[in-house]
Amino acid sequence: MPSSYVYFLHGFHSENVSRIELSENLDLRPINNDDKAVLSLPRTISLYDKGRLFSSTHVLEVRVSDEKDADKMAHSAVYDAISALRLFKMGKIGTHYYYPKKNRNLEMVGFFGPLNTTQIWYATTLYKLKDEEAESLKNFFTVLRAVRRDNRVEFALRWFNSAYSMMTPTDILLNYVISLEALYLSGESEKGFRLRTYMTSFLGRNSINRGSEIWTYIKKAYELRGSIVHGNALLPNEIKLEEIGKVSIMDFLTKLELYTRESIREFIQLKAKNPSLDILKTIERSFYDENEKRKLRI
């Protein structure tokens, strides 16, 4: 008999979203009376977590048939679902507590790690999903699950998700930079130059102006990374960018998050379209070959 696990979403704000069947065994659905009954049971949790739990409007419910590895399989499915939601659009979203549906009288289980969200200080953007976006989300989730085991994608996604559970600007920046390195770099030489060159060519391939902005932001991100590695753990409140001027650290990290999200999402879509495509070699060849550039179209 299948076991069901229910994970409370925090940061999720629905705009008329009903049940979304992400896969045969995984649903995103509104919270129901059974879930509310679980929340009402006496338990010891922090006021902050209690606030997040009682503000939950939706949950992820996963059904697994293998009793032996049920917890592991449920967590894996929810990891994919949270990853898809985070890559699909911007916004603070995660999950911190779940309960096994077969025994609602048990304490809810709390856990830490990349599924959690603790970027309180800057990631204040609410995750708003509209009903008309449901089908696109479902399609993207299917694509993600098909290619997530690609080494570059899996490693980059791990660091991207980890950034959601970081508490300081320094740790958040490092997570995004490492995620980008996992996608775009294959060697040890001239990492900063290669990273911004590949990213400018790939993400800025349809706009010269956007390419210039990407170059500027990634160059500064790599300079900050080097400063952190060499002992300067505190980032300034404002970042000075060539030809752009000063931006707040919040805006800088938001832009870096955008580039990281877009990069991972496009790598996933290209791999789904052509599993044998060597994306890095194709980016290199696209510098001088229009046919190679066309292979990067999604």
Q: Establish if 79 belongs to a structural domain.
A: yes
The two tokens of residue 237 are: 């409140």
Domain boundary among 76, 104, 136: 136
Question: In this structure, are 114 and 182 located in the same domain?
Answer: no
Do 8 and 120 share a domain, yes or no?
A: yes
Least confident range of 140-144, 204-208, 211-215: 204-208
Asked if residue 141 belongs to a domain, the reply is no
Residues 253-278 have a mean pLDDT of: 94
Would 203 be classed as within a structural domain?
A: yes
Give the separation between CA 291 and CA 48, rounded to whole angstroms: 53
Q: Are residues 157 and 110 in the same domain?
A: no
CA distance 235 to 170: 6
Statement to judge: residues 114 and 227 lie in one domain: no
pLDDT tens per residue, range 97-142: 888 877 555 566 766 667 777 655 455 577 889 889 999 999 999 9
Q: Based on the domain organization, do 154 and 37 belong to the same domain?
A: no
Any domain includes 171: yes
Check whether residue 184 and residue 124 sit in a common domain.
no
- Specify whether 199 is located in the same domain as 81: no
Judge if 112 and 207 occupy the same domain: no
Residues 288 and 154 in one domain: yes
Residue 119's identity, in one-letter code, is Q
Domain boundary among 136, 157, 177: 136
Average pLDDT over every residue of 59-78: 86
Domain check: are 18 and 129 in the same one? yes
Residues 19 and 102 in one domain: yes
For residue 225, what are the domain limits?
Answer: 149-294
* Residue 142 lies inside a defined structural domain of this protein: no
Q: Which helix (H) or strand (E) holds 6?
A: strand 3-10
- How far from 292 is each of 176, 203, 258, 285, CA to CA, in Å? 27, 15, 25, 6
Query: 136, 165, 196 — which closes off a domain?
Result: 136
> What is the pTM assigned to this prediction?
0.90
Residue 51 lies in a domain: yes
Is 144 a domain residue? no
**Are 5 and 62 within 8 A, CB to CB?**
yes
Which pLDDT score is estimated for 45?
63
Q: Assign 59 a pLDDT band (cuts: 50, 70, 90).
A: very high
- Asked if the structure places residue 21 within a domain, the reply is yes
Q: What is the pLDDT of residues 22-50, one digit of tens each?
A: 999 999 999 998 888 887 776 656 555 66
How many domains is the chain partitioned into structurally?
2
The answer on 88 and 54 residing in a single domain is: yes
Quote the CA–CA distance of 132 and 155 in Å, as a whole number.
31
Residue 80 pLDDT greater than 90, yes or no:
yes
